[in-house]
Structure 1
Amino acid sequence: MQTNPTYSSLVALGDSFTEGMSDLLPDGSYRGWADLLAARMAARTPGFRYANLAVRGKLIQQIVDEQVDVAAAMRPDVITLVGGLNDALRPTCDMVRVRDLLTEAVEKLAPSCERLVLMRSPGREGPFMERFRPRMEELFTCVDELSRRHDALVVDLYGAPSLGDPRIWDVDRLHLSAEGHRRVAEAVWQGLGHDPEDTEWRTPMPVTPPPGWGARRVADARFTRQYLLPWIGRRLTGRSSGDGRAPKRPELQPYEGGTA
Structure 2
Amino acid sequence: MAFSRYVAIGDSQTEGLWDGADSTLVGFADRLAIRLDELYPGLLYANLAVRGRRVGDVLNHQLPQALSMEADLITVCVGMNDATLPGRSFERALLQLDVLHERLAASGAAVVTTTFPNVAKTLPVGRLLAARIIRINTAIRSAATQYGFHLVDLYTAPSMIERDTWSTDRMHASTKGHILFAAAAAEALGLPGSSHDWAQAAGAGAAPGPGARAFAQLQWTRNMLAPWIWRHLRGRSAGDGRAPKRPVLHGVR
Q: How big is each residue's C-alpha offset from its partner over 1:212-260, in whole Å with a ceiling of 9 and x where there is no partner?
A: 998887776555434442234334554211012111111122212xxxx
- Kept in 1, the 8 Å contact 2:159–2:199? The answer is yes
- Kept in 2, the 8 Å contact 1:71–1:109? The answer is no
CA RMSD of aligned residues (A): 2.6
How many residues are aligned here?
251
- Kept in 2, the 8 Å contact 1:73–1:112? The answer is no
Structure that is richer in helix per residue: 2
TM-score calculated relative to the size of structure 1:
0.86
* Distance in 1 of aligned mates of 2:102 and 2:205: 45
> Which of 6, 25, 30 is the equivalent residue of 1:10?
6
* Distance in 1 of aligned mates of 2:205 and 2:246: 38
- 1:1-260, aligned counterparts within 5 Å? 5-25=1-21, 28-124=23-119, 125-197=122-194, 199-206=196-203, 221=218, 224-235=221-232, 237-256=234-253
Letter in 2 for 1:144: R
Gaps (5+ residues) in structure 2? none
Q: Secondary structure at the match of 1:6?
A: coil
Q: Secondary structure at the match of 1:10?
A: strand
* Distance in 2 of aligned mates of 1:142 and 1:133: 14
Q: Secondary structure at the match of 1:231?
A: helix
Gaps (5+ residues) in structure 1? none
1:214–1:62 distance in 2 versus 1, CA, 3 Å: closer
* Distance in 2 of aligned mates of 1:190 and 1:179: 17
Moved more, 107-116 or 149-158: 107-116
- Kept in 2, the 8 Å contact 1:15–1:56? The answer is yes
TM-score calculated relative to the size of structure 2:
0.88
Q: Secondary structure at the match of 1:188?
A: helix
* Distance in 1 of aligned mates of 2:111 and 2:213: 41
Letter in 2 for 1:229: A
Percent sequence identity is 38
- Kept in 2, the 8 Å contact 1:42–1:48? The answer is yes
Q: Of the two structures, which has the highest relative contact order with CA contacts closer than 8 Å and spacing of 6 or more? A: 1
**C-alpha deviation, 1:82, in angstroms:** 1.4
1:42–1:231 distance in 2 versus 1, CA, 3 Å: same
